[in-house]
A and B are shown apart, each in its own frame.
Chain A
Amino acid sequence: MSSTTAERAAAPDTAPPSEPSYLTAENTVASWLLTKDHKRIALLFFVSITFFFFVGGAAATLMRLNLATPEGLLQPSVYNRMFTMHGIIMVWFFLIPSIPTTFGNFFVPLMIGARDLAFPRVNLGSWYVFNLSGAVVLYSLIMGGADTGWTFYTPLSTSYANGYVFAAAMAVFINGFSTIMTSLNFIVTIHRMRAPGMTWMRLPLFIWATYAVSVVMLTATPVLAMDTFLLAVERFIGVGVFDPNLGGDPILWQHMFWFYSHPAVYIMILPAMGVASEIIPCYARRPIFGYAGMTVALMAIAILSFFVWAHHMFVAGISIYAGVVFSLLTFFVAVPSAIKVFNWTVSLHKGRISFDAPMLYALGFVLLFTIGGITGLMLATLGVDVDVHDTYFVIAHFHYIMVGATVSAFFGALHYWWPKMTGRLYPEMWARFAAILTYVGFNLTFFPQFILGYLGMPRRWYTYPAEWQSWNLLSSAGASILAVAYVLPLLYLGWSLFWGRKAGANPWRATGLEWSTPSPPPTHNFERTPVVTAIPYCYDPEHDSFVTQEGARYAG
């Protein structure tokens, strides 16, 4: 178990490619900015969301600095703007697009054996729309930021807030177009562009997860679009449908907001589940346990995610009856989620496990997702939620899911597919170090927040009683470790771009179609259209052999 996977005998390379790789095919700036190649668009998205990840991270850094002492560092109004912009940027400009637009864009066609997505121009348009919305949110940030919280609750956002709420809401509105364009593309591609033999039950789970998330994006985003549009109208002209002065219902905003934003949590976590389902079988050298159950669970989560939204609103003034209904429905979502966790765990049983960096990230994902999920059930319980609502308990809970789980999976995917995307291997030891550091830093940052929340520290406050300082200081210290763990990959992955060892076509000896083409892939992905004859994840731990989806067998 000491040797890394890359040091083992790699699967034999395919014949040298006859076409130049997508990276070197053309070199002008215009060839990148006007490209229709899904792989290049994935990298463009990667650059954009990495930028926003660090902008949002900078806001978080200021918040944690401020909370290190009860006296604080920032003015209260500045703190309000920081947590708002942190939320808006991290949710809409990093987490929601993160895995779908980068790894989804790059690997959906590769994994189903297509030459491109169905609508390449729509795909490129998605990137431009994303950047347009990014420019609007940066305008809002630079001019002073919004101060309503990322949830834009009315009537605070429509009447009372003083920040650039209109610009922030429009940024979210425009961002929705990008989300819709990408999800539409994925749905149609997965329906129509699969290679011969790639039946639905032979699709890799990452494709299933991308499909599920696209369905959620497609059906949830328009409701938010209408909601933010009406908010912008009300903010802009001063009269609107959420205005209690006219008999309007401010909670209606929350209903429609959470009709989107609760499924949005699953938009963030579903692709991460797909990534874990790719990585875990590959490094346990074992077929995934319960493939059919996994697919059903993914689609069940996608549908059930629409039945639970009002559990964010238990104390907002909705009827008790609605609270009971939504509390019950929320428990149902736990079932498919638990199925997935159990299946990942059982997939390790009797495997030939190697703890490479992607595997460390994936295992971290499963652990943090489990903690986040179980605390989620605590919050779904009506009585408990009334107690801990709007405290740091909630903050800790959703950061375990959204940061702990999703960002871990994002880095796991980045390491796992890095050789395929760039043709270079990353330095394994550094990567393992970063993976462990992420895990340590994350738990140090957010576990104390569970305790703080249970003690009663409200979220969004810029100060707190002095006796809570030790927990807050621990959290801030953990955040600095987490920051290092997030910057490290940028450095060594950047290094490996130029000096990393060259990767073969299939360095991890994995079974998916994406590994049957050279690294980095040629412009049109495959020399010939692949014909699929096998289910994914045909690993044999006993003989250390595997069968690719094209049916080629490789002995150990």
Chain B
Amino acid sequence: MPDSVALRPEIQYANLEQQGDTAQLGMWVFLVNETLFFGALIFIYFMYRMTYPHEFAEAAQDAVLWCGTVNLVLLLTSSLTMVLAINSAAQGERRQMIRWLIATAALGIAFLLVKGYEYHLDFQSKVVPVVNFETKAGEGRARQLFWVFYWVGTGLHAIHLIIGVGLVLYMLLWRIRQGKITAVYYAPLEVVGIYWSFVDVVWLFLYPSIYLVGRS
């Protein structure tokens, strides 16, 4: 297991620096697309929340607040460990980098476990449209709009997080094992870090939309 191998830039790049910067820019350009993707969903949410404030407030009371809050803390912490992993990579501290990356992946998986448990609780409180849904007396049918948003939003977010965990594991089990992440060239890790923090940002906006409505 080599600690590092000498890397050469791909044929279309002049040097590794250009290659790394371009990869980073590519991820930012991709995030434009992701911003609009989730932004469109939240647009729908705002529109309906404006139109049916009471139905949304009542529907959201069934959301499991502690799950959402714990998950918010988990994700914010995982962003911290991710950025510390990148710093360790840049400073050539291989062992620390691996340790922080394992922590990041573990926090991501912990998020998914909490999310899974929350889905279980949701099923029990009958807020799964079509499968197990109860329209409570006097609450109105617009309640389902909230829960469709909930499932689509958290579901798509979870898919993005699973991809993120997969990328971190790919870095750990493939790129780093091959010694391709070094203090000279750690751009792939930075790219994964940018993506990871963006998934965090999505949760930052889903959290008040889902869990903080109708509590007062």
Contacts and interface: CB of A to CB of B under 8 A. Distances in A.
Nearest to B42: A226
B148 interface: yes
B148 A233 contact: yes
Greatest chain B CB density within 10 A among A116, A221, A222, A233 is at: A222
A229 interface: yes
Nearest to B21: A192
Contacts of B144: 239, 246
A184 B37 contact: no
A256 B40 contact: yes
Given A114-B12, A238-B130, A248-B145, A218 B26 contact: no
Contacts of B25: 188, 191-192
Greatest chain B CB density within 10 A among A117, A180, A223, A248 is at: A248
B182 to A, nearest CB: 21
Interface in B26-60: 26, 29-30, 32-38, 40-41, 43-44, 47-48, 51-52, 55
Contacts of B10: 120
Nearest to B142: A247
Nearest to A256: B40
Contact of A226 (B11, B26, B40): B40
Interface string B119-150: 00000000001100000000011101100110
Chain A interface residue count: which class? Answer: 35 or more
Greatest chain A CB density within 10 A among B29, B33, B36, B44 is at: B33
Contacts of B22: 118, 188, 192-193
Contacts of A116: 11-12
Given A188-B26, A238-B130, A524 B11 contact: yes
A120 B12 contact: yes
Contact of A240 (B36, B40, B41, B148): B148
A184 B11 contact: no
A184 B47 CA distance: 30
B15 interface: no
Nearest to B12: A116
A120 B22 CA distance: 13
Contacts, number: 97
Contacts of B41: 226, 230
Interface in A108-145: 109, 114-120, 122
A187 interface: yes
A222 B44 contact: no
A252 interface: yes
A480 interface: no
Given A225-B37, A230-B152, A184 B145 contact: no
**A interface, over-half SS:** helix
Nearest to B30: A184
B129 A188 contact: no
A222 B40 contact: yes
A545 interface: no
Contact of A184 (B29, B36, B141): B29
B133 to A, nearest CB: 8
Interface string A253-266: 00010000000000
B161 to A, nearest CB: 17
Greatest chain A CB density within 10 A among B40, B48, B144 is at: B40
A1 interface: no
Contact of A247 (B11, B30, B141): B141
B142 A241 contact: no
A252 B18 contact: no
A188 B10 CA distance: 15
B89 to A, nearest CB: 22
Given A237-B129, A241-B148, A247-B141, A227 B40 contact: yes
B31 to A, nearest CB: 10
A245 interface: yes
A119 B26 contact: yes
A219 interface: yes
B44 A223 contact: no
Given A192-B21, A241-B148, A246 B33 contact: no
A377 B55 CA distance: 43
Nearest to B131: A237
Interface string A201-235: 00000000000000000110111011101100100
B130 to A, nearest CB: 5
Contacts of A246: 141-142, 144-145
A115 B22 CA distance: 15
A233 B149 CA distance: 11
Contacts of A119: 26
A52 B141 CA distance: 43
Contacts of B21: 192
Given A188-B22, A192-B21, A245-B141, A222 B12 contact: no
B29 A218 contact: yes
Given A115-B12, A222-B34, A247 B145 contact: yes
Given A237-B130, A241-B148, A252-B47, A223 B40 contact: yes
B29 A222 contact: no
B26 A193 contact: no
Nearest to A196: B14
Contact of B33 (A180, A188, A239): A180
Given A192-B25, A230-B44, A247-B51, A222 B37 contact: yes
B26 A222 contact: no
Nearest to B55: A247
Nearest to B38: A226
Contacts of A219: 32-33, 36
A369 to B, nearest CB: 28
A256 B45 CA distance: 13
22 contacts: A119-B26, A120-B12, A187-B29, A192-B25, A193-B12, A193-B22, A218-B29, A218-B32, A219-B32, A222-B33, A223-B36, A226-B37, A226-B41, A230-B41, A233-B148, A238-B130, A245-B141, A246-B141, A247-B51, A247-B141, A248-B48, A249-B47
Given A241-B48, A248-B145, 20 more contacts: A109-B12, A114-B12, A116-B11, A118-B22, A120-B10, A188-B25, A188-B26, A193-B22, A222-B35, A226-B38, A226-B41, A229-B152, A233-B148, A233-B152, A240-B148, A241-B148, A241-B149, A248-B48, A256-B40, A256-B43
Give 9 nearest A-B pairs by CB, closest first: A222-B37, A116-B12, A226-B40, A222-B36, A247-B142, A239-B129, A115-B12, A223-B40, A192-B22
